[in-house]
Amino acid sequence: MQKIGIDYLQTYSPVARIESVRLLLLISMFLGLECKHVDFVTAFLNGKLNNVVIYMEQPEGYEDGTDRVCRLRKSLYGLKQASKVWNGTLHKILVKIGFVQCAHHAGVY
């Protein structure tokens, strides 16, 4: 069980507002641009836990009779900070391939 202030501090991650999406679609239509979308399957499982140390009990089926724990390298569904961690990972990838984050709408690139 995670406790705020001990196991996590921040959980916010931006999302694109529907008004922003509609505006981008309208602009692309007028400019004759092609629009594409992407769905990241199990996105939260791909969030890298950089500078965050989280341990968990051994999952069922992996127990070896000891009190050992596992250190997470990537996020899991159910972690309070999972969406923030995924957003940070996605942001780094998008910036690396040339996208620029909108100054007024953090969920738009």
Domain chopping of the chain, boundaries:
18-97
Do residues 14 and 108 lie in contact, with contact meaning Cβ atoms separated by under 8 Å? no
pLDDT at 90: 94
**Residue 23 host element (H or E):** helix 18-31
- Confidence category of residue 14, pLDDT binned at 50, 70, 90: very high
For the chain, what percent of residues have pLDDT higher than 90? 50
- Confidence category of residue 11, pLDDT binned at 50, 70, 90: confident
- Confidence category of residue 34, pLDDT binned at 50, 70, 90: very high
| Interval 40-81: pLDDT, tens | 889 999 999 888 888 888 888 887 778 888 899 999 998 999
Asked if the model's pLDDT at residue 100 lies above 90, the reply is: yes
SS3 content of the chain, % helix, strand, coil (to 5): 30, 10, 60
pLDDT at 5: 74
Distance CA 61, CA 67 (A): 14
Asked if the model's pLDDT at residue 89 lies above 80, the reply is: yes
